């Protein structure tokens, strides 16, 4: 059977020419495949018993009660505070606890914190809205310009005799 296959392959190769495309079928020729007699299935590693394996049948029996929870948090946002943490499945319990502890503490902290002055509030607002700087400049410059335009052009008419006394000029009428 092997020699017959080789002859078929040679004849098939000769009929395809140098391009490898079978003229009869219009597709590239590939030799026929046969089943592998040594195939024994999908390979899997051999399994052996593990002498160091230990399975704890009661994993929580040796644990102590949880006395605290640790939270580590890194943030660049200001004004984040943590005080007490409650873990519960009841919203009513959480609301009651917040009313007894957090609401009172937040009110005390709010009353104790220094208030922002009016100037600080304006500077914060002007930092967020640059048009405020233009309005401030206009509020300062407009009165100053009006003052110089209305009062600086001519000197008031004065007493010529008083001027002569100051400068020792001759006075002729």
Give the per-residue pLDDT at 139: 92
Using a 10 angstrom Cβ sphere, with 0-12 exposed, 13-18 middle and 19 or more buried, the burial of residue 29 is: middle
pLDDT tens for each residue of 86-144:
888 889 998 898 888 877 888 888 777 777 788 888 888 888 888 888 888 999 999 99
The runs of H, that is alpha helices, within the chain are 2-16, 91-100, 102-112, 118-128, 131-151, 160-167
CA distance linking residue 117 with residue 125, whole number of Å: 12
Give the per-residue pLDDT at 159: 60
CA distance linking residue 6 with residue 31, whole number of Å: 10
124: tokens are 């914060």
Per the CB < 8 A criterion, the answer to whether 160 and 153 are in contact is no
Per the CB < 8 A criterion, the answer to whether 22 and 28 are in contact is yes
pLDDT tens for each residue of 14-56:
554 555 555 566 667 777 788 888 888 888 888 888 888 888 8
Over 90: is that where the pLDDT of 63 sits? no
Averaged pLDDT of the chain:
77
Give the per-residue pLDDT at 17: 53
């Amino acid at each position: 059977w092997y020699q017959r296959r080789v002859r078929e392959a040679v004849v098939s190769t000769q009929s395809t020419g140098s391009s490898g495309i079978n003229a009869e079928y219009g597709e590239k020729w590939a030799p026929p495949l046969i089943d592998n007699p040594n195939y024994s299935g999908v390979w899997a590693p051999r399994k052996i018993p593990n002498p160091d394996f230990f399975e704890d049948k009661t994993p929580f029996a040796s644990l102590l009660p949880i006395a605290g929870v640790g939270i580590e948090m890194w943030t660049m946002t200001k004004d984040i505070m943590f005080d007490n943490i409650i873990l519960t499945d009841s919203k009513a319990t959480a609301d009651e606890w917040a009313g007894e502890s957090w609401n009172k503490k937040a009110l005390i902290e709010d009353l104790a914190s220094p208030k922002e002055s009016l100037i600080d509030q304006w500077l914060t607002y002007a930092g967020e809205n640059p048009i405020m700087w233009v309005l401030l400049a206009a509020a300062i410059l407009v009165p100053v310009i009006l003052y110089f335009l209305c009062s600086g052009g001519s000197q008031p008419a004065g007493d010529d005799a008083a001027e002569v006394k100051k400068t020792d000029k001759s006075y002729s009428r």
